[in-house]
Amino acid sequence: MLQLFRYRFRFRANDPLYFPPGKAGNILRGAFGTIFRKIACAASCAGVSSCEIRHQCAYAKVFEPQPFPSSPSGYSDMPRPFVLRAAHLGSRRLDPGEEFTFSLNLFNTRDSLLPYFVLTFIRIVEEGIGPGRGRARLLSVEQLPADDSSPLLLFENGTFLAHQPHPPLTLDLTPHTANVRRLHVRFLTPTELKSNRESVSRPEFPVLFARLRDRISNLRAFYGGGPLLIDFRAAAERAAGIRLTRCDIRHEQVYRRSSRSAEIHPIGGFVGEAGYEGNLDEFLPFLLAGRFTGVGKHTVWGNGELEVAA
């Protein structure tokens, strides 16, 4: 299994706001990291790598997580424990008074990190966000179940409410027994998959499953019940028997400018639909989990989001 908290943040624009196409998640993630560090870290801190309390630091846990000596071997780069879901804001222009939302999936369920997120986003929208630096106000934060129904209100009008949060959402990775032979997968946000360190042009199933398997295993290794206890090689051999029967995708070119180096980096990928056929029962739970984890590169700001239909 894999556990996570899902939060939805609701805002009201004070000024005109604009989110460029394909960049809402990247804009939020960049501002998030900058303000989070100002809130969580001492001004004298030279950086996470030299910080003596980095394993207790909220900023380090979220943005530059460091393995403990007891962490599993072979993991040099820990995954960030959160995913933003803000693609629906791309290309939107908001007038003063309009409300907007985005959601955040948090896989670190052990630490009390929500207050830091709330304080950070209050500061971000007060200072201004997006190309025009429009300001907004955080109205509320809700905890969401898997289907978004019956959210639990955790924060409203500047006050943390006295409700006890629901337990984290649990994603069951046990193989299904429904004899699923066909699946359609929608790639909702730009997805970049790599095989042998090279980007692939089509979402062939062995590559898609391998990247999902690795991402879920890494999240479990550091924030959950430990690495996946499956035979990776045998599962990969079975995944090779799944055929790509439909591939209706297009590639979206999106770029971002690094705030540190001012260099331009591609953050695009393919979107669209793919159909698969074969014995899919053991793989379906991983595909369903991909809705929450994302797959491929740049998952933190929302890339690689999946939707699955059997």
Greatest mean pLDDT among 5-9, 55-59, 60-64, 226-230: 5-9
CATH code for the structural domain at 172-309? 3.30.70.1900
Domain with CATH 3.30.70.1900 in the chain: 172-309
pLDDT at 44: 67
Q: What is the pLDDT of residue 300?
A: 92
Q: Check pLDDT > 80 for residue 279.
A: yes
**What percent of the chain clears pLDDT 70, i.e. is strictly above it?**
88
Please write the tens of the pLDDT for every residue from 147-166.
Answer: 888 899 999 989 998 666 78
- Between residues 43 and 75, the one the model is more confident about: 43
Q: Which amino acid is at 226?
A: G
Average pLDDT rounded to a whole number, residues 83-89: 95
Q: What share of the chain is helix, strand, coil (3-state, %, to 5)?
A: 25, 30, 45
**pLDDT at res. 228:** 84
Position 100 scores a pLDDT of: 97
**CA atoms within a 13 Å half-sphere pointing along the CA-CB vector of 279:** 10
Sorted by sequence, the CB contacts under 8 Å of residue 263 that are 6+ apart come out as: 257
Q: Residue 65's pLDDT is what?
A: 82
Task: Read off φ and ψ for residue 249, nearest 5 degrees.
Answer: -125, 160
The pLDDT of residue 112: 85
- Of 302, 307, 306, 305, nearest to 104 by C-alpha is 302
pLDDT of residue 71: 52
> What is the structure's pLDDT at 224?
82
| Mean of per-residue pLDDT scores for the chain | 87
Instruction: List strand residue ranges (DSSP E) for 200-305, in order.
Output: 243-252, 255-257, 264-266, 269-277
pLDDT of res. 188: 95
User: Quick one: pLDDT at residue 34?
Assistant: 85
Indicate if the pLDDT at residue 18 is higher than 80: yes
Identity at 104, one-letter amino acid code: L
pLDDT at residue number 61: 83
Check residue 77 and give its pLDDT: 66
